[in-house]
């Protein structure tokens, strides 16, 4: 029975360590990369010595820096097209929101290039289509079609050369707290179920040993 208790104790310590690791420890690519800890470890990974966070509807973005006070997460698009991220990134299923004030901007796909007062987005444009990001209140030229209207920090500018510019996010503690609480409940249930299973196995083993001893004593009495 002491052996069973020992294994129960080891099992409990192991699960507790896993819980602490999931909630508090760091997930670091190397010493000079951003330190990622709860709650980001849930969606973060380390590939090719880059710390990544995966977002639904878009995919992986590189973590450039993290500040927990103030709450600010700066990301870089590995595809080098920030406005493609703005077009496709859906933050609604996540606890994140843009760090800077956002406004409604409209993406236009045009068959011909517009006058120089409009700035073409090179990474989204091609030989026969030209993409522009304009304020939603602007008139749509006849050669253009509306692709999508999104709430983003700014319209495209050729002066924006940093792939992280504008990809600053913040978050509410409540959203991540609920994730942490759900994780805690799941782990607690797992620990209780595991302990119950180990205890049952040890109990059955103990009863089996007891039965063997009783049988042996009975056989000795017959002799």
At residue 11, the pLDDT reads 53
Helix segments in the chain, DSSP class H: 2-24, 82-88, 173-222
Q: Is the pLDDT of residue 17 over 60?
A: no
Q: Is the pLDDT of residue 95 over 70?
A: yes
pLDDT tens-digit map of 57-66: 788 999 888 8
pLDDT tens per residue across span 147-168? 999 999 999 888 765 666 789 9
Half-sphere exposure of 170 (CA within 13 A, CB side): 10
pLDDT in tens, 26-57: 445 655 556 666 555 556 777 777 888 888 77
pLDDT of 76 higher than 60: yes
Which token pair is 185?
């409940």
Other beta carbons less than 10 A from residue 56's beta carbon? 12
pLDDT at 162: 64
In this prediction, residue 74 has a pLDDT band, given cuts at 50, 70 and 90, of very high
The predicted model gives 76-99 an average pLDDT of: 91
- pTM here? 0.64
Q: Write the DSSP symbol of residue 144.
A: E
What's residue 19's pLDDT? 46
pLDDT average, residue stretch 4-15: 53
> pLDDT band at 171, cuts 50/70/90?
confident
- For 96-149, write each residue's pLDDT tens digit: 999 999 999 999 999 999 998 899 999 999 988 999 999 998 899 999 999 999
Neighbouring residues of 183: CB distance < 8 A, sequence distance ≥ 6: 22, 23, 42
Under a CB-based contact definition with an 8 Å cutoff, are residues 8 and 198 in contact? yes
pLDDT in tens, 174-206: 655 544 445 555 555 666 666 666 666 666 656
């Amino acid at each position: 029975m002491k052996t069973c208790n020992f294994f129960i104790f080891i099992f409990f310590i192991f699960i507790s360590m896993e819980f602490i690791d999931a909630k508090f420890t760091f997930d670091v690519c190397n010493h000079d990369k951003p330190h990622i800890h709860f709650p980001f470890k849930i969606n973060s990974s380390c590939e090719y010595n880059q710390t990544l966070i995966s977002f639904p509807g878009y995919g992986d973005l590189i973590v450039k820096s993290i500040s927990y006070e103030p709450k600010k997460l700066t990301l870089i698009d590995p595809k080098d097209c920030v406005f493609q991220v703005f077009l496709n990134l859906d933050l609604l299923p996540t606890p994140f929101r843009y760090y800077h004030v956002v406004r409604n901007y409209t993406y236009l796909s045009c068959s011909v290039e517009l006058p120089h007062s409009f700035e073409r987005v090179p990474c989204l444009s091609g030989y026969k289509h030209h993409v522009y990001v304009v304020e939603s209140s602007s008139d749509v030229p006849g050669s253009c079609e509306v692709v999508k209207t999104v709430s983003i920090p700014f319209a495209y500018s050729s002066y924006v050369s940093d792939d992280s510019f504008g990809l600053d996010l913040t978050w509410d503690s409540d959203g991540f707290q609920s994730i942490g609480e759900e994780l805690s409940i799941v782990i607690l249930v797992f620990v209780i179920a595991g302990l119950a299973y180990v205890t049952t196995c040890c109990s059955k083993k103990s009863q089996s040993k007891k039965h063997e001893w009783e049988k042996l004593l009975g056989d000795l009495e017959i002799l």
